[in-house]
Structures are given as structure tokens and as C-alpha cells.
Amino acid sequence: MDQYANSTLFSVINAGKSLEQDLSEALGRIGLSMAKYGALCVLAASAEPLPLSVCARRMTCVRSNITQLMDRLAADGLIEREADPLDRRSVRAKLTSKGAELQLAGDQICSDIESDLAGLFEAQEAKILRSTLHRIS
């Protein structure tokens, strides 16, 4: 928004929202949301099926959220729940082959956006951009 032109706070927040919307729209075209893609990435990065509480920690969100998200992912056929015989409280999620495929498609979408972004900056600017942003988060 224009009234925030001199605000670093809202420059960052608004740019983040703008990119999130771009990514969200592109993911939407292959049937994914940000939340769903994030969960698929967490599962894809693990060699083993993951307990839902581990997913919650890695996605920096609460467990009840993961329960619902996994419900939706399971309804889409992208993950499966499996019981953990060593701890009967635990439920572990694993990607289906369809889930693994969609995760890769999501990665490609991120790469495409990253390429578009690269065209906006000089190399030195991009370096400073990432350096300053990493001090924030």
C-alpha cells in the first residue's frame, strides 16, 4: 500500500504477501494450497513416515492444525496415515505416489517464480536483499 512507502515493516510484509499470493495461485492450478504444499515438502524431505507431532514442529504450527490438514491431504489421496506399532498413541503420515508427484510439481513452480524474481535485481542487490531479510527471520 502506498501509505507504507517509507515503512520497512510494511515493505517486507506486503512483498511477502504478494509473493505468497503468486505462489498460492500457481499452486492452486495444480490443486495445492500453500499449507498442503508445505506439508508435502516436509514429508518429501524425510526418508521415513513422520509422526504428526513432528510435522507440526517442522511446519511451525500446532498439532490440531496438522490433524485437519492431513485429513484434507488424505481426502485428496496425497498422504496416508499409518499406525506406529512402537507407540500406539502415534500416527505417522507418508506421501502417496500421487503426493510425491505433486510435491515435485510444486517445487518446479517455486523454481519458476524464483527465476522470475532473479530478473528483478542486480546480483549485488539480490545478495543484500537476502542478507537483510535473514537478519529479520
Partner DNA sequence: TGTATTTAGTTCATATAATAATTATTATTA
Partner DNA sequence: TAATAATAATTATTATATGAACTAAATACA
**123 near its own copies, rule: CB under 8 A:** no
Query: Angle at Cα 61 formed by Cα 58 and Cα 62, nearest 5°?
Result: 120
Say how many C-beta atoms besides its own lie within 10 A of residue 67's C-beta. 13
Q: Select the binding partner of residue 36 from DNA, its own copies, none (C-beta < 5 to 8 A, by kind).
A: DNA
**128 near its own copies, rule: CB under 8 A:** yes
The H or E element spanning position 79 is strand 79-83
Among positions 68, 108, 111, 132, the unique one binding DNA when judged by CB under 7 A? 68
Q: What distance in Å separates the CA atoms of residue 118 and residue 75, rounded to the nearest whole number?
A: 36
Number of residues engaging its own copies in binding (CB under 8 A): 38
Say how many C-beta atoms besides its own lie within 10 A of residue 27's C-beta. 21
Residues in the chain: 137
> At which residue does the C-alpha cell 495445492 appear?
32
Number of residues engaging DNA in binding (CB under 7 A): 28
Q: Min. distance of Cβ 92 from DNA in angstroms?
A: 6
Applying CB under 7 A, which residues contact DNA? 33-36, 51-54, 56, 60-70, 72, 81, 87-92
Applying CB under 8 A, which residues contact its own copies? 3, 5-20, 23, 45, 110, 113-114, 117-118, 120-121, 125-126, 128-137
